[in-house]
Chains A and B, each alone.
Chain A
Amino acid sequence: MTSPAPGPHPPLERDQMLALYRWMRLTRTLEERLTALYRQTKVVGGLFRSLGQEACAVGSAFALERRDVMAPLIRNLGSMLVKGAEPVEILRQYMAKGDSPTRGRELNIHFGDVVERNFIGQISHLGDMVPVMAGVTLTFRMRGEDRVGLVYVGDGATSTGAFHEGVNFAAVQRCPLVVVIENNGYAYSTPTSRQCAAERLIDKARGYGVFGMRADGNDVLEVYRATRDAVERARGGGGVSMLEFMTYRRKGHAEHDSQSYVPDGEVERWERTNDPIDRYARRLIVEFGFPTADVGAIDDEVRLTVDAATEIAEQSPVCDGPDALRGVYADPPEMPVLWFRGNAPSAVEQHERPAGWGTHDG
């Protein structure tokens, strides 16, 4: 399928190039802090790292405008930070604090903001966000709004029915949607070769009649450029684009996972030869001439930022019990409290029949 060729982009400004580095560094430092908190048992539930995938998340989200909508996955902390999520929000979520974005209803990075920052709280059922984003972008098309959507899936989610239905629906409706497949080699313990018999996941794009492109997911600039092209194609009425970013998950599915299924030396090889942050830092200094000190200053600033956010999040209150009864429905907004204390009348007193009816006439 032919798509309109996107125009050449203006080159990134120097502060934008540093911003890309900062978002990746913030992602990693924040996750390292979360790992420490996890080991201190301060994290409620699992901890899902994106170590080694920071370029994928950051480079793609960086191509979106604030008005554009994104549906992240569990390894898209970097995307959410770019889209405006605050480190203190992330920390509060992971610690299930009462003032976290979901007030303890959800954990980790399962939260969103559809009013200002425009990212949608995901659910754990993989692929489900694709139809949802088809609907979000259908809305923009229907209302003639100059906004696009971006949805992330992993290699595993490409096997789901929801992925298929969502991509196909969006393709037929020519929704302004970018589908990013982050191929990190594993869905939990299952390698991509056991996920799909196609040679490349991006081969699926052809079957849906949408633009498809594979790129190096550990090169933040390449990720950014590919996504930027797809975003402009969507904004220009060119419909759905599918991108496959090749990357590697250097941690287990979650922090508890020992990665016993990973061949010896594989993780270490990626760490040594293809770390997205190391690669980009080297390019900033060698290729683009940034002083080493400027890059190092970002590392220091990020550490202070995460320290300050941790300080605040640790002092956040625990959840308010009765708040759990709120918000199941818009109407009624609150469920009644069902327990009784003190002088509350018993059920029998409340419902007793008139005297003489034979049931409770004592």
Chain B
Amino acid sequence: MSGRRDGEPTMAEITFVEAVREALIEEMERDPAVFCLGEDIGVYGGAFKATEGLQARFGEQRIIDTPVSEAAIVGAAAGAAHYGMRPVCEMQFIDFMSNAYDMLTNYVATARYRAFLPCPIVVRGPSGGYVRGGPFHSQNPEAAFLHTPGLKIVYPATAEDAKGLLKASIRDDDPVLFFEHKYLYRRIRGTMPEGDHVVPLGKARIAREGGDLSIITYAAMVWKALEAAEQLEREDDLSVEVIDLRTLLPLDDDAIVATVRKTNRALVVHEDTVTGGIAGEITARINELCFEWLDAPVRRVAARILSCRRRRTSCAPVAGSPHIEGDEEQPWRGLM
């Protein structure tokens, strides 16, 4: 289940964004409590067309165009969830999730613990860089929510996972932030497994087997890591294992420990900025859980502490050491 990233698409393959749409359609057909709300998701079908055709199919009551009000979208979803619904909120760009930060961290995340309120909502939307989106349409704010107890964070890399994890997120009884890397939307394709394809939350995936080094990463960087792994094998005869975390909260500690025990070296990679990023948490866990299995310090490759820039390499992982070779101007050279 590695997904395809080159060549002609076959009939059975669908894109990442189509996989998202399939998940929404299947879950809305399966459960009348599921509905979507967000900006321009109805007639227009969403900024990236993730909900294209859904309003015609399910009606205005279940595909709701909202005012430009992220806090109200998330707050209303929470209220609906308290009374039996399973709302799926779309953030037009995941950057705008910051407008609902209070609602997510103070209200939604604490609802179950402080007041035993059911709050099964999904907040999903396009994230990440590489599409010339500029500083406010390219961000990866997942780390801002990592230390909020009560939330779950999912960030798929493949089309198959986009569908299977979104279906699992909608069915999950906890609030889930679901990040969809917009660079992958139409560049990554996959063949959906038959039947009810649900991928459990909290389980990482080995994207590539290897024995010399583990690259632990997620989302679009999985593909970058696979490219690096191939290059290292070709040029240096190194066997690199790539772990696709899939879910960032909760982290799959077992998978992280297993790969470190196997290769004894870990490199943690993400597109988000390095300081306070998820790589720091993963590094700490490796130290706490399997330090004695390491042959070298854990290293991070992540973006420098810079705001995303309006250029092709916005948010590219250019900082950190050791440095993965790459052309900054064409970071996806030959990749997808």
Contact = CB atoms under 8 A, between A and B. Distances in A.
Nearest to A120: B82
B115 A168 contact: no
A330 interface: yes
B275 interface: no
Given A114-B83, A130-B75, A134-B75, A328 B106 contact: no
B233 to A, nearest CB: 26
Nearest to B105: A125
Interface string A168-200: 110011000000000000000000000000000
Contacts of B291: 351
A106 B115 contact: yes
A136 B80 contact: yes
Given A135-B77, A351-B289, A125 B113 contact: no
A209 interface: no
A114 B74 contact: no
Nearest to B119: A330
Given A327-B116, A329-B150, A139 B83 contact: yes
A7 B42 CA distance: 37
Interface stretch (B60-68, B131-139, B219-227): B60-68
Interface string B68-98: 0101111111111111110100000000000
Contacts of A352: 292
A112 B118 CA distance: 12
A142 B35 contact: yes
A246 to B, nearest CB: 27
A169 B66 contact: yes
Contacts of A137: 79
Contacts of B66: 169, 172
Interface stretch (A37-45, A159-167, A229-237, A293-301): A159-167
Interface in A295-339: 327-331
A139 B150 contact: no
A168 B106 contact: no
B324 to A, nearest CB: 28
A172 B61 CA distance: 13
Given A105-B114, A138-B80, A331 B72 contact: no
Contact of B107 (A105, A125, A169, A360): A125
Nearest to A130: B75
Interface string A342-362: 000000100111000001100
Interface residues of B, number: 47
B172 interface: yes
A173 B71 contact: no
A133 B78 CA distance: 9
B76 A123 contact: no
A131 B150 CA distance: 20
A135 B173 contact: no
Contacts of B110: 123
A352 B292 CA distance: 7
Nearest to A350: B289
Interface residues of A, number: 44
B54 to A, nearest CB: 16
Interface string A141-172: 01000000000000000000110011011001
B149 interface: yes
A320 B149 CA distance: 20
B103 A162 contact: yes
Nearest to B292: A359
Contacts, number: 145
Contacts of B152: 329
A128 interface: yes
Nearest to A118: B83
A131 B289 CA distance: 42
B79 A168 contact: no
Contacts of B78: 131-132, 135
B170 to A, nearest CB: 14
Given A135-B78, A329-B174, A105 B293 contact: no
A162 B71 contact: yes
A168 B72 contact: yes
Interface string A106-119: 10001110100000
A329 B103 contact: no
Max chain B C-beta neighbours (<10 A), residue from A140, A166, A330: A330
B262 interface: no
A102 B115 contact: yes
B103 A136 contact: no
B102 interface: yes
A121 interface: yes
Given A138-B79, A165-B71, A128 B107 contact: yes
Nearest to A106: B114
Contact of A131 (B76, B117, B290, B293): B76
A338 to B, nearest CB: 11
Given A105-B114, A353-B292, A330 B106 contact: no
A128 B71 CA distance: 8
A277 to B, nearest CB: 30
B112 interface: yes
Interface of A: 69, 102, 105-106, 110-112, 114, 120-121, 123, 125, 128, 130-140, 142, 161-162, 165-166, 168-169, 172-173, 327-331, 348, 351-353, 359-360
Given A114-B83, A120-B117, A125-B102, 13 more contacts: A106-B114, A110-B115, A112-B115, A121-B117, A123-B106, A123-B107, A132-B79, A134-B72, A135-B79, A136-B82, A137-B79, A168-B69, A329-B174
20 contacts: A69-B83, A102-B114, A102-B115, A105-B115, A106-B114, A120-B115, A125-B107, A131-B76, A131-B78, A135-B79, A135-B87, A136-B83, A142-B61, A162-B72, A329-B150, A330-B112, A330-B172, A331-B173, A351-B291, A353-B292
What 9 A-B pairs are tightest by C-beta distance, nearest first? A131-B75, A135-B79, A135-B76, A121-B115, A330-B173, A165-B72, A169-B72, A165-B69, A136-B79
